[in-house]
Amino acid sequence: MKSFARFFSSIAFSSIFVLSGAFFELRASEREVRVYSGRHYNTDREVFKEFNKKTGIRVRLIEATGISLIERLKREGKNSKADVILLVDAARISNAAKSGLLQPYSSSILEKNVPIDLRDSEGRWYSLTRRVRVLVANPKIVDVTKIKNYSDLSNPSLKGLVCLRKRNSPYNQSLVANQIVLRGEKETKSWLKDMISNVSTPYFPGDIGITRAVANGKCGIGIVNHYYVARMLAGVNGKKDKNLASKVVVITPNPAHVNVSAGGLAKYATNKKEAIELLEFLASPRGSEGLAGPTYEHPLVGFNQSSEVKYFGAFTPDKVTIKDLGKFNSKAIKLMRKAGWD
Ligand SMILES: [Fe+2]
């Protein structure tokens, strides 16, 4: 009886086996990978379905916002069921790596598909999609021809017209980290001080709220991730938002601050082989485009092909690495707090 059980447990891991000359196919669900995802987009499920069709590996998805996901992983420790961790924002993924939540892994497939500046040098995480931090302006309120870069938000002519998302948003933390790397601490400090003095309305909880406020004239200008405006323009959030988004002008600084969503192998992954297969699929051109297309992000290589995103024009990423955004995250938060960024 024991050897019978052993026989069955040994074949349970192969997807096809031969018995009495006939083929029996085991259920595809025999192999699975558990994904903890901070990417809160329904359309990701389509990509996981495609992966399942291709490999027979079932994706079990646990979604949560970035920060609670990290807390959860820390709390679970060795008992964590996570195999793959997906997060949005450079600082979040590098903090996850620093906290020992990810294990290094490298393969020629990942190295071929993920550009070197978009992956961890130790192989703990790999970017999967890209997003651009852009400016949204109301052309009836501000002179859009005079605003080209994030630094222009400190101009005294914008007094009372700048709207910003709250300090705890990782997107802005990464933008400030980016400016520290590009322009140095001293210049960033004075930029922050002057930009904050241009803010009059309360700080916003999200990028969509900022876009709406700029469109309806409550604000003159704000900073958002490009895909929020694209989604509004495409009508994803309904007619009202589509109409509002058509009233704003998107200004893409050149070069622009580019952030990412990224994934890595969880420290205590039990389905390691399957997790690696999934990561390699998501980082492939097909996988990255599958993630980025419906969310209006940009894939790792090339650009989102939707008319809404194309309408914003091309962008050139600046030279700041994703690793540096993580490195300067705590410095950025400190400067933001000191400048009065709520
Ligand atoms: Fe987002």
Q: What is the pLDDT of residues 207-243, one digit of tens each?
A: 999 999 999 999 999 999 999 999 999 999 999 999 9
Binning pLDDT at 50, 70 and 90, where does residue 314 land?
confident
Q: What confidence score (pLDDT) does residue 117 get? A: 92
- Give residue 115 CA to ligand 1 midpoint distance, Å: 22
Q: Is a pLDDT exceeding 80 seen at residue 28?
A: no
Binning pLDDT at 50, 70 and 90, where does residue 331 land?
very high
Binning pLDDT at 50, 70 and 90, where does residue 27 land?
low
What mean pLDDT do residues 162-166 have? 98
Q: Is a pLDDT exceeding 80 seen at residue 6?
A: no
Q: What confidence score (pLDDT) does residue 167 get? A: 96
What mean pLDDT do residues 144-172 have? 97
Class in CATH terms, 27-130+260-299:
alpha beta
Q: What confidence score (pLDDT) does residue 68 get? A: 87
Instruction: Answer for the pair 51, 60: CB distance below 8 angstroms, yes or no.
Output: no
- Give residue 5 CA to ligand 1 midpoint distance, Å: 48
Give the start-to-end residue ranges of the domains of the chain.
27-130+260-299, 131-257+305-339
Mean pLDDT across the chain, nearest whole number?
A: 91
What mean pLDDT do residues 41-59 have? 96
- Give residue 225 CA to ligand 1 midpoint distance, Å: 7
Q: Is a pLDDT exceeding 70 seen at residue 66?
A: yes
- Give residue 308 CA to ligand 1 midpoint distance, Å: 17
- Give residue 88 CA to ligand 1 midpoint distance, Å: 7
Q: Do domains 27-130+260-299 and 131-257+305-339 have the same CATH topology?
A: yes
Q: pTM, whole model, 2 decimals?
A: 0.89
- Give residue 202 CA to ligand 1 midpoint distance, Å: 20
CATH superfamily, region 131-257+305-339: Periplasmic binding protein-like II (3.40.190.10)
C-alpha 7/C-alpha 207 separation (Å) is 56
Write out the DSSP string of 176-240: HHHHHHHH-HHHHHHHHHHHHHTB-SPPBSSHHHHHHHHHTTS-SEEEEEHHHHHHHHTTTT-HH
Q: Is a pLDDT exceeding 60 seen at residue 13?
A: no
- Give residue 121 CA to ligand 1 midpoint distance, Å: 25
Q: Is a pLDDT exceeding 60 seen at residue 14?
A: no
Q: What confidence score (pLDDT) does residue 300 get? A: 97
Q: What confidence score (pLDDT) does residue 174 get? A: 97
Beta strands in the chain (DSSP E): 16-19, 22-25, 32-37, 58-63, 84-88, 102-103, 126-137, 162-163, 221-225, 249-251, 258-266, 298-299
